[in-house]
Structure 1
């Protein structure tokens, strides 16, 4: 007769529960896997499948019951680790959306917004365009596979243990998040530069000819120049997105190493 002891059940639970919660934490913040267009059951099934594939190669786990107070603390710690790792890739999309917001504001389209099903909120039309373009480039560059690879490597860089994670990893994330505005300005710089020259030209014409109707000519002109500058800058967009994805991946590895001390 096949008998299962309580110790075996606890071992199976610890083998699956702890890595599962880290993977779910990554899926909760990653810009692709956290999309509202992916059903929750699909994400949970993918997380369970990854857990079953990763579990045999995990380093030795702590001999602690999952349902014990210390085991629950380890679960919470794994969620925090997963959220932090997934947040690194979220920074790429936040920077691109910031660039879209800045460009749309200067083009005069700051008031134009549509419902974004990916985030479940109203987003400026230019920011939504750049976000969807980044998502397509992210998939074309196998960014979703890079995220899965990062998940697998995170268990080797930061094994599951009862040791508390080092808070310096969160400081590293905060410092990286502070670069969102800088990256947004750099990505939108072609559009901002073209619109700056356009606005200066309109100002000179309005001073030279006081009867010049700025409101009738200025808005269509800035809108057309902004769209033209955005169109001409699109071919240079993929290399920058590829570089940002590489930097986000390296940041995720640095965060995991920093957490491990």
Structure 2
């Protein structure tokens, strides 16, 4: 009982709480506006309370370096959540590619989760991806990721920001995000490209037919049919997307830890 109220463990508890809070500020699924702020603070508090007994606390004390450790913990939580958010943003990018070909590029909707404008198709695919993430207990894996971050980045260590490999890894993550977005959108975009070719041939062979009137509803119909047909493939790509997200999070934590 005395250990539970030991005031000497408060500096460590504060460092853990700051990292978890910063992680939940930007991490997909936990950072959305629809999740109440008291819930975010409460779950961060109890997670930090659980984690404090699994972290080495022998070398942390209030001194001149403590404020730098506090800033480091904020950066660690934000950057790990940001790199995961960048990978998941591939769904929105893919939706933008699809909407541009469908003619829905001017019909963006407001995303209630982030407060930003989002493509219609991208929003639909994003909701399906989040439901898939919840169905496979991906939210537990996200919490497990922030828990395992203390194995890679101890509380008393600092981030080697001068390491060139960190910048290279972030650039690699951006490339991976666009590659996954291209893979998600290419089946539907490819179908619409073939529809454009067919409409071009019809416009040259049958000039009396107004392809601009026929083309837009035809492309929308073909897009909906293609989405239904390729939905199974999209679930496979969504699984690969989340696998890549967890791999990128672990890779970034290893680089932050000097590994």
Tell me the secondary structure at the aligned position of residue 114 of structure 2.
coil
- CA gap of 1:108–1:185, structure 2 versus 1, over 3 A, is same
Match of 1:251 in 2: 248
Change beyond 3 A, Cα 1:95–1:61 = farther
Decide whether the 8 Å contact of 1:62 with 1:160 is kept in 2: no
What is the alpha-carbon distance in structure 2 between the residues aligned to residue 195 and residue 38 of structure 1?
A: 37
User: How far 1:34 moved relative to its partner?
Assistant: 0.2
Residue among 214, 234, 241 paired with 1:217: 214
Aligned residues: 252
Other-structure match for 2:197: 200
1:117 aligned counterpart, secondary structure: coil
| Equivalent in the alignment of 2:56 | 59
* Residue from 8, 12, 19 that aligns with 2:9: 12
1:92 is displaced (CA, Å) by 3.5
Q: Which runs of 5+ in 2 are unaligned?
A: none
Residue 32 of structure 1: aligned partner: 29
Given candidates 80, 83, 91, the residue that maps to 1:88 is: 83
- For the residue of structure 2 that corresponds to 1:178, the secondary structure is helix
Is the CA contact (8 Å cut-off) linking 2:87 and 2:176 kept in structure 1? no
1:141 aligns to what?
136
TM-score normalised by L of structure 2: 0.91
1:121: how far off? 2.0
After superposition, the C-alpha distances for 1:128-181 in whole angstroms (9 at most, x for unaligned) are: 111111111111121110011111111112111143434433542232023322
Q: Is the 8 A contact 2:95 2:121 kept in 1?
A: yes
Structure 1 residues without counterparts, runs of 5 or longer = 3-7
Question: Which moves more between the two structures, 174-183 or 49-58?
Answer: 174-183
Change (3 A) 1:111 1:44: same
2:45 paired residue number: 48
CA gap 1:130/1:197 in 2 versus in 1, 3 angstroms:
same
Paired position in structure 1 for 2:173: 176
Structure 1 170/149 Cα, relative in aligned 2: closer, same or farther at 3 Å? farther
Normalised by the size of structure 1, how large is the TM-score?
A: 0.91
Displacement after TM superposition at 1:242 (Å): 1.4
SS of aligned partner of 1:132: helix
The separation in 1 between residues aligned to 2:246 and 2:118, in whole angstroms, is 27
Structure 1 counterpart of 2:153: 158
Q: Is the 8 A contact 1:62 1:162 kept in 2?
A: no
Q: Which residue of 2 aligns with 1:5?
A: none
